[in-house]
Structure 1
Amino acid sequence: MTEGLGTFPTVLVGGVPTTRITRAELALLMIDDCRRTRADPERLPRLVVSSNGAVIADFHRDASFRNILLKADVIDADGMPLVMATRLFCQEPLEERVATTDFINDAAEAAAKEGIRFYFLGAKPGVADTAAAHFRALHPDLQIVGVRHGYFSAEDEIDICEEIRASGADVLWIGLGSPLQESFALRNQHHLQGLAWLRTCGGMFDHYSGKFRRAPVWMQSIGLEWLHRALNEPIRLGRRYMATNLPAIYYLLTQTTDRQEDVRIARTKLHTTNEDAPVDDRPI
C-alpha cells in the first residue's frame, strides 16, 4: 500500500474491502499524493479503483480479478446500493457514494487550483479527446497533458507508459472497462513510477463526451442508475446486469459489515486464499 494523507477505515461491502472515504477526502488525498510524489518521484503511484454491483459479483467469481482488487490502495463505493447496504448492516454507514462521474469534477477543480496534471487513457478514438475538451472548457487552468484511446495491444503498453511518464502527468485516468483497466493499472504500476495516481474510471469518458446521459437524480438516489444504463446500452450492459445483479444483492445482504474484527478476519482469509492466484495479464 502507498502511504498518504491519514488512514481511512476499511469496511466490507458485499465482501469487498471498501475504503470509508468521501469525495472531498479523496480529492484531498489526490492533492497530498501528488505533492509527495513530486518530492519523491521514486514512490509508486497509488492504485485507486471503484466497487459496484458488477465488481462485487466478479470479485467473488474470478480469483484473478479478486487478487487485483486486493492489491489496490483505495477501493471506493461507486454505487448507491453499496451505501444502502451499509445503512442496513453497519454501525457507521458510508456517508456517500463516490461515483467516478461525480468525483472527476471534484478532482478537476482541485487539480486546476493545485497545478495537478491529468492524462486520459481509454474509450474509442476521439471520445476521451471530447471529454478532455469538456473539462478544459469548465476549468481553463486544468492541465490535461495527454489523451489516448484505449485500443492497443499488450505489446504497446511499455511505449504507452513511457509516453505517459514523459508527458509529466500526475494522475492517469484509465477508462478501459473492468477488469481490463484494473489489470492494466496493476501490471504497469512500476512502469508508471513518477505518477501519483492510477485512477480507473470505467465509462467516464463516454459520459463526458456526450455519448450518454446520467440517470435522473431520483434514480441515482434509490440505486437504479444501473437500470438507466442498461436501457441506454441493452446489448452491452443488459446481459451483464442480468448476470451480476442477483449475486451482488446476495453478497451485499450477507457480507456487509463494519465490525473491525469481522473485517480483519475476512481480509486475512481473502489474502491467504489469493496468495497463489494469478494476476490477469491478458492482452488489451
Structure 2
Amino acid sequence: MFEPIFDTVNVGGIETARLGRKDLARLVGNICAHYSEQNKAQPFVIFSNNGHAISIYNSDAEAKTQMDQADLVHADGQSVVSFSRWFNKGNAIPERTATTDMIHDIPNFYEGTLKHFLLGGKESSVTKAADVLAQSYPNFQVVGVQHGYFNEAEETAICDAINAAKPDVLWVGLGKPKEQIFCIRNKQRLNVPVIISCGGCYNYITGEYPRAPMWMQKAGMEWLFRMANDPKKLFWRYAVTNPHAIYCVLKHGRAQKNVAADVN
C-alpha cells in the first residue's frame, strides 16, 4: 500500500506541506496510480493555505475542524512561504504551490494520464476550463463537470455522478469555507483517489480573472493585484484578513519557539 510521505511546518496554526511544485504534482499522480477502489480507501484530501485561510482557521471553529481533516495542506500563497521562514529558517517551505499553477503542474510534471472531474463555478466557466485543459494537455482527461450552484440536498446525486465518471482527481472550486465543508462532508461517499480544493481556479484558466505579473507573484503581492481588479469584492477581505493572518503567524510562531526553548 502506497503511503504519501512529506514533511510539514506550522504556519499560522496550520500544518503545511514542505513540498515544491514538481514534488506535489508527482505526489498526486503517485497517489492516483496506487489507488485501488477494491481497497475502499478514502480519498486523499488536499486543501490550501494562504492569508485568508489562516485568518478563517483562527476565527471560525467549523473552518478549523474542516482544515484539520485534510490529508495535506499546501502553500497556495507566497506569504505562507515567507511566513514559514520567520520561525523555521532551516525547515521552511521551498516554494509556493499555487492551486492555479498546480492544475497545470500535474499534467506537466506527472507523465501518466489522469482523469479529472471539475466541480464548482458557473456552468460556462467550468465547461470552458475543462475544454482548455483537455486541449492543452493530452494526459489531462476530463470525465465530467458540475457547476457550483447547488444545495446540500443535491449533493448525494452529484456524488453519485462523480463516482460514475470514475475520475482520479476531483477539483472542488466553491470558495472558502464552502469547498472544505463539501469535501469533508462527502469524503466517505466519493470513490476517488484525490480531492483538491481550488477556489476560483477555473476563472483563471478561462482568462476571466487575470493573473498578476510574475514579479508581483514572486513578491507575494498577487493579493494586491486581485484587490485592484475587484475592489468591491476583495478590499475588505484583505483589509481584515491580512493583518489578522500576520498576527496569527506571530502568535503561533512564538508559541512554538517557547515550547522548543522549554524542551531544550
TM-score surpassing 0.5? yes
**Equivalent position to 2:18, from 9, 15, 20:** 20
Aligned partner letter, 1:212: Y
Residue 254 of structure 1: how far off its partner (Å): 3.2
> Aligned pair count?
260
Structure 1 residue aligned with 2:144: 146
| 3-state DSSP of counterpart to 2:41 | coil
**Equivalent position to 1:250, from 228, 244, 247:** 247
Residues 179 and 58 from structure 1, CA distance in 2 versus in 1: closer, same or farther, beyond 3 angstroms? same
Structure 1 residue aligned with 2:51: 53
Structure 1 runs, 4 residues or longer, greater than 4 Å off:
3-6, 257-263
**Equivalent position to 2:193, from 168, 171, 196:** 196
Residue 4 of structure 1: how far off its partner (Å): 4.3
Gaps (5+ residues) in structure 2?
none
Measured in 2, the distance between the counterparts of 1:39 and 1:82 equals 35
Aligned partner letter, 2:69: K
Q: List aligned pairs for 1:73-112, cutoff 5 A.
A: 73-90=71-88, 91-110=90-109
Measured in 2, the distance between the counterparts of 1:101 and 1:157 equals 25
**Which structure's relative contact order is higher, taking Cα pairs within 8 Å and 6+ residues apart?**
1
Measured in 2, the distance between the counterparts of 1:105 and 1:178 equals 21
What is the percentage of aligned positions where both structures have the same residue?
36
Structure 2 residue aligned with 1:127: 125
User: In 1, are the aligned partners of 2:9 and 2:92 still within 8 Å (CA)?
Assistant: no
TM-score, scaled to structure 2: 0.92
Residue 115 of structure 1: how far off its partner (Å): 2.3
| 3-state DSSP of counterpart to 1:114 | coil
The CA deviation string for residues 107-155 of structure 1, in whole angstroms up to 9 with x for no partner, is 13356x3221000000112101111111112113421000111000111
Quick check: 1:230 aligned with 2:222?
no
Residue 8 of structure 1: how far off its partner (Å): 1.2
- Give the root-mean-square deviation of aligned CA atoms: 2.2
User: In 2, are the aligned partners of 1:4 and 1:29 still within 8 Å (CA)?
Assistant: no
Residue 208 of structure 1: how far off its partner (Å): 0.6
TM-score, scaled to structure 1: 0.86
Residues 22 and 261 from structure 1, CA distance in 2 versus in 1: closer, same or farther, beyond 3 angstroms? farther
Measured in 2, the distance between the counterparts of 1:66 and 1:39 equals 29
